[in-house]
């Protein structure tokens, strides 16, 4: 999973040319544990919210705001949150743990809930 600086960069890429003034550092902080593709998907879904409001409800055009991202993130859990902790638990204490030490170390935060 991407670290904080990588998530910031992914948000910058995902929001390029989109009407948005949300701080990417804040978005990166709220998406710890999300995969790169999930972050791009969050950008796409958040961008559709103002568009949908305009088309369906006749609301005026507006930028993408933090509340749009919060809504999308609240509606979707990271796919990593399901299998990643289980994989780490399965590997910990086995002979294979040494081969996957980076995965085990990275996953410790997921297993402990952090």
Q: Are residues 6 and 47 in the same domain?
A: yes
Residue 84 and residue 71 share a domain:
no
Per-residue pLDDT of the chain (114 residues; tens, 9 = 90+): 799 999 999 999 999 999 998 999 999 999 998 999 999 999 999 999 999 999 999 999 999 999 999 999 999 876 555 555 566 666 666 666 566 666 556 655 544 444
Q: Are residues 19 and 71 in the same domain?
A: yes
Same domain for 73 and 86: no
What pTM does this model have? 0.69
Same domain, 43 and 54: yes
Residues 29, 47, single domain; the answer is yes
Whether residues 72 and 101 fall in one domain: no
CA atoms of 16 and 43, how far apart (whole Å): 10
CATH of the domain at 37: 1.10.8.60
What pLDDT score was predicted for residue 24? 97
Range(s) of the domain holding residue 42: 1-77
Residue 70 sits in the same domain as residue 83: no
**For the chain, what is the domain count?**
2
């Amino acid at each position: 999973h991407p670290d904080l600086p990588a998530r910031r960069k992914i948000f910058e890429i995902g929001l390029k040319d989109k009407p948005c003034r949300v701080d990417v550092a804040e978005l990166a902080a709220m998406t710890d544990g999300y995969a790169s593709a999930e972050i791009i998907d969050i950008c796409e879904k958040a961008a559709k919210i103002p568009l949908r409001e305009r088309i369906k409800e006749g609301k005026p055009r507006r930028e993408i705001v933090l509340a749009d991202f919060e809504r999308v993130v609240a509606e979707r859990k990271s796919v990593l949150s399901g299998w990643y902790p289980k994989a780490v638990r399965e590997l910990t204490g086995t002979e294979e743990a040494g081969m996957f030490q980076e995965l085990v170390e990275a996953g410790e935060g997921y297993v402990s809930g952090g």
